């Protein structure tokens, strides 16, 4: 028997052995659908639904409720400055007084002209009744009367503008003028701020702003001041083009004026009560799509996965929704098992 025949016989024999081995290795494929057996041991805790009141918290700072720059309406030299810088002033109290100069005399002259024009117009009407006055003369008298009224109004406004008064009760934050300074029309005399009430301003994300309404009750918390009750007074309809957040304002009573403008703090709002689970933060995992989830075991000790939504935080864990009323969550070993895997469990104390 030559070499080629021997090689061919060896190949045929090996092929027959390989084909025959397949007949005996044909196992029942139904076991493929069975859970994967595992010796992994995991710690499990039982968690139940609880009542939870979500809390929205935003970084905030205080601002004056109102702030105005008091400006001179007429030009003149400052005669006195009753409103001292940093002082509390009442509504209509004088802040700056401009020298009167000849303005009171001009007002008296305007009043006299008005009286004269009124007499002339009355006389013209009487002459018209008697047939001695034309319509043109009466119209001229009427025009002179209206001019005299305007001159008196302007002169009265000039005299009234000598005294720059506070439009509301507040604090004189700035007063850049002194006695003897010359003010031109439109030049600032003082800056007045209202701190009672005071505003608490926060920037709120688009996901949170939908939960807010004007009139909602809130709490304003500060590190160095007592917390105060607040009421939402303004919610912006247009987002900040840079931060994409919305301005929210709340009003806080500040009758003692202890709370100053620019104080940092936190604005907190309690939402409606919901049902949720309080679980340790270490139980939260991410699935392949980046969604938050937890792993649990069912009654057959098979690993299950559940997507959850974090709705709040607590000192001892996170509040989440999306789970059954009662559930056994894997508290130790959740990173080392997969969905559908059978595990050996032992229960640990429910930490939260």
What's the burial of 285, exposed, middle or buried (CB within 10 Å: 0-12/13-18/19+)? middle
CATH code for the domain in which residue 132 is found: 2.40.50.100
How many CB atoms lie under 10 A from the CB of residue 21? 9
Convert the pLDDT of each residue in 6-34 to its tens digit. Answer: 555 556 666 665 555 554 444 444 444 55
- The residue out of 207, 240, 270 marking a domain boundary is 270
Please give the pLDDT value at position 309.
92
Residue 315's pLDDT is 86
Query: Beta-carbon neighbour count of residue 144 at 10 Å?
Result: 18
Strand, helix or coil for residue 260: coil
Q: How many CA atoms lie within 13 A of 255 on its CB side?
A: 1
Which of the residues in the chain have pLDDT under 70? 1-39, 128, 130-133, 349-352
Last residue of a domain, one of 166, 189, 212: 189
Q: Reduced to 3 states, what is the DSSP secondary structure of residue 267?
A: strand
**pLDDT 10s digits, 161-212:** 999 999 999 999 999 999 999 999 999 999 999 999 999 999 999 989 998 9
Kindly state whether residues 229 and 153 are assigned to the same domain.
no
pTM of the model: 0.67
Given 253, 270, 287, which residue is the final one in a domain? 270
Query: What was the pLDDT predicted at 5?
Result: 52
What six digits make up the tokens of 349? 């104390």
Q: Report d(CA 17, CA 107) in Å as an integer.
A: 128
Q: Give yes or no: residues 74 and 159 share one domain.
A: yes
Q: What is the pLDDT of residue 214?
A: 95
35 token code pair: 């859970």
Residue 294's closest CA among 326, 317, 274, 323? 323
**Residues 73 and 183 placed together within one structural domain of the fold:** yes
């Amino acid at each position: 028997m030559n070499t080629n025949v021997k090689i061919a016989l060896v190949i045929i024999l090996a092929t027959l052995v390989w084909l025959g081995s397949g007949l005996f290795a044909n196992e029942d494929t139904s076991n493929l659908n069975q859970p994967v057996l595992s010796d992994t041991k995991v710690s499990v805790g039982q968690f139940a639904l609880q009542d939870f009141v979500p809390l929205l918290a935003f970084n905030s700072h205080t601002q004056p409720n109102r702030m105005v720059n008091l400006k001179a309406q007429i030009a003149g030299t400052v005669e006195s400055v009753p409103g001292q810088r940093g002082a509390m002033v009442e509504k209509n109290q004088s802040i700056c007084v401009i020298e009167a100069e000849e303005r009171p005399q001009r007002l008296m002259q305007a009043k006299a002209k008005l009286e004269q024009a009124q007499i002339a117009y009355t006389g013209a009407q009487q002459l018209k009744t008697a047939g001695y006055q034309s319509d043109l003369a009466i119209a001229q008298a009427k025009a002179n009367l209206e001019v005299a009224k305007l001159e008196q109004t302007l002169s009265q406004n000039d005299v009234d503008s000598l005294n720059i008064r506070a439009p509301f009760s507040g604090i004189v934050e700035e007063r850049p003028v002194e006695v003897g300074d010359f003010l031109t029309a439109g030049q600032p005399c003082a800056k007045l701020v209202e701190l009672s009430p005071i505003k608490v301003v926060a920037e709120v994300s688009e996901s949170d702003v939908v939960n807010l309404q004007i009139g909602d009750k809130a709490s304003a918390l500060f590190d160095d001041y007592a917390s105060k009750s607040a009421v939402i007074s303004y919610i912006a309809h247009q987002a900040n083009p840079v931060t994409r957040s919305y301005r929210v304002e709340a009003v806080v009573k500040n009758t003692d004026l202890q709370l100053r403008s620019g104080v940092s703090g936190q604005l907190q709002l309690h939402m409606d009560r919901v049902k949720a689970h309080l679980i340790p933060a270490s139980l939260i995992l991410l699935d392949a799509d980046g969604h938050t989830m937890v792993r649990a075991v069912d009654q057959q000790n098979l690993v299950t996965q559940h997507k959850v939504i974090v709705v709040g935080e607590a000192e001892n864990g996170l509040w989440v929704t999306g789970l059954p009323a009662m559930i056994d969550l894997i508290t130790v070993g959740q990173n080392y098992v997969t969905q559908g895997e059978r595990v050996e469990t032992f229960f640990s104390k429910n930490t939260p």
